[in-house]
């Protein structure tokens, strides 16, 4: 396996941009002619033309701003990602290649579309005939659970994109990395495709390390899955577009309910444990929201500038209000020692939606003001929906490019779309990090302009003497 390193140059000037290791490891030299060469392609005039392959020298800038280019030191190359796509030479012999696909973590629109794209690409383009679906995530590798594998063929996946969820099922929680690699070795798997989020990236990183320690030739390719769109170096994750569309419908219902009664309040809780991208984008899609609360934004409930006082003024002025809150917002109101953990060990956020319902009702009851509060939590409905057409197209490209990378012998990487191009991103560049809404970004400024919400923070008054 090729090793990569970052060369650092001592310089006293401050660096504004993060250093990222963008080198993609490979299992060895790719020497086999790609079977894609044999597929006839025709121009508009009907003339035969050759397939256009991608080389590792085709790159996309990690940072494409003039500010970044101006800060480069003399002789320093800018950070770039490999462009994804078919390679002229591949590492694995398709006739002998065995692939496995596993889906991990929570549900998300588009998982079945990614599975389908991988299977169809392997079968029809590369003529790989041994493709296995691992049931229930990483549990499927562990003998004690007794989960049977699923033979994945074009017939099996023909219509799965019409359904939500994942035909392979999923699971959460850590599993023994050694046992996972034992199973890969025992099954003679050459390429492992993992569809999952941050926890899956962490596990994939450990699996890659164990594979390297044993000197096995197994490629690990991740297709990043997070409905929250919070994986770094991934401009948009699949399922996010569908989530925003469905969240917008929930907001529309909340707005209708708020208008339908005196002092009507529609409160919608959306996905977003650590970031508020779904809440922010759904708000902009409809522009009928008055308050958006996200994990990145600190806010107060009580006090003259808090949410409750502002909400009271809003009802006096307009007689209705719509509030959108991401599930990870307002966690300062909960005792972390009393919150449960999920099977992966992550602290589950306190239920900010129900907490706001109680606090809003208490606040107005104390002032003898009648309100009509409707609370909507569409999270599980959104997670289990089939992907919309935009996400389906996106999932197809992700699955196809994952196959191109795996067959070329690349490993320890995920497929991303970056600055309008599909690229290869090393797992280590993204693992253990989270992308957040920048409160000084055009996205959040547009949210504030749309809602007109105040800062919702009690700022100490300064008096001059």
* Residues that are catalytic: 228
CA distances from residue 48 to 39, 44, 52, 87, 119 in whole angstroms, order as listed: 10, 10, 12, 20, 27
Q: Helix, strand, or coil here: 302?
A: coil
How far apart are the C-alpha atoms of 409 and 407, rounded to whole Å?
5
* Residue 265 · residue 271 · CB < 8 Å: no
Tokens 């005196």 sit on residue:
262
Which helix (H) or strand (E) segment holds residue 206: the answer is helix 198-213
Q: Which residues contact 241 (CB under 8 A, 6 or more apart)?
A: 387, 388, 390, 391, 394
Centre a 10 Å sphere on the Cβ of residue 64 and count the other Cβ atoms it contains: 12
- DSSP one-letter string for 418-442: ETTEEEEEEHHHHTT------TTSH
Quote the tokens at residue 125: 């383009």
Measured CA to CA, the distance from residue 376 to residue 359 in angstroms comes to 16
Those residues whose C-beta lies under 8 Å from the C-beta of residue 333, and which sit 6 or more positions away, are 301, 350, 352, 355
C-beta separation of 326 from 278 below 8 A: yes
């Amino acid at each position: 396996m090729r090793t990569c390193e970052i060369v650092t140059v001592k310089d006293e000037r401050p660096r504004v941009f993060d250093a990222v290791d963008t080198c993609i490891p490979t299992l060895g030299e790719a020497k086999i002619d790609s079977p894609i060469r044999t597929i006839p392609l025709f121009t508009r005039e009907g003339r035969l033309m050759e397939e256009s392959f991608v080389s590792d020298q085709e790159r996309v800038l990690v940072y494409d701003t003039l500010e970044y280019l101006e800060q480069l030191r003399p002789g320093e190359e800018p950070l770039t990602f490999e462009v994804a796509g078919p390679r002229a030479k591949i590492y694995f012999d398709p006739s002998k290649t065995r692939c496995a696909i596993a889906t991990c973590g929570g549900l998300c629109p588009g998982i079945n579309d990614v599975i389908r794209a991988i299977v169809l690409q392997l079968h029809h383009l590369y003529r790989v005939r041994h493709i296995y679906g691992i049931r229930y995530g990483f549990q499927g590798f562990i003998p004690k659970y007794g989960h049977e594998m699923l033979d994945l063929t074009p017939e099996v996946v023909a219509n799965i994109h019409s359904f939500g969820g994942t035909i392979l099922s999923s699971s959460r929680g850590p599993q023994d990395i050694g046992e996972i690699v034992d199973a890969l070795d025992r099954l003679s798997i050459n390429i492992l495709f993992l569809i999952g989020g941050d926890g899956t990236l962490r596990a994939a990183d450990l699996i890659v390390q164990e594979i390297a320690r044993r000197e096995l030739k197994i490629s690990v390719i991740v297709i990043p899955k997070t409905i929250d769109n919070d994986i770094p170096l991934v401009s948009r994750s699949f399922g996010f577009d569908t989530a925003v569309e469905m969240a917008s419908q929930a907001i529309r219902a909340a707005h209708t309910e708020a208008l339908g009664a005196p002092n009507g309040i529609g409160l919608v809780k959306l996905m977003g444990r650590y970031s508020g991208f779904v809440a922010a984008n759904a708000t902009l899609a409809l522009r009928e929201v008055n308050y958006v609360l996200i994990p990145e934004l600190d806010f107060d409930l009580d006090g003259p500038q808090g949410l409750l006082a502002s909400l009271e003024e809003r009802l006096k002025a307009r007689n209705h209000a719509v509030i959108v809150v991401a599930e990870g917002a307002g966690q300062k109101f909960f005792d972390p020692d009393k919150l449960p953990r999920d099977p992966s060990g992550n602290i589950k956020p306190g239920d900010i939606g129900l907490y706001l319902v109680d606090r809003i009702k208490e606040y107005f009851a104390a002032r003898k003001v009648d309100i009509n509060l409707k609370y909507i939590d569409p999270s599980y409905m959104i997670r289990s929906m089939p992907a919309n057409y935009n996400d389906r197209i996106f999932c197809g490209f992700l699955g196809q490019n994952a196959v191109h990378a795996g067959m070329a012998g690349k490993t320890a990487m995920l497929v991303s779309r970056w600055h309008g191009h599909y690229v290869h991103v090393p797992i280590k560049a993204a693992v253990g990090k989270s992308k957040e809404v920048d409160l000084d970004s055009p996205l959040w400024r547009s949210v504030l302009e749309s809602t007109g919400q105040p800062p919702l923070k009690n700022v100490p008054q300064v008096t001059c003497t």
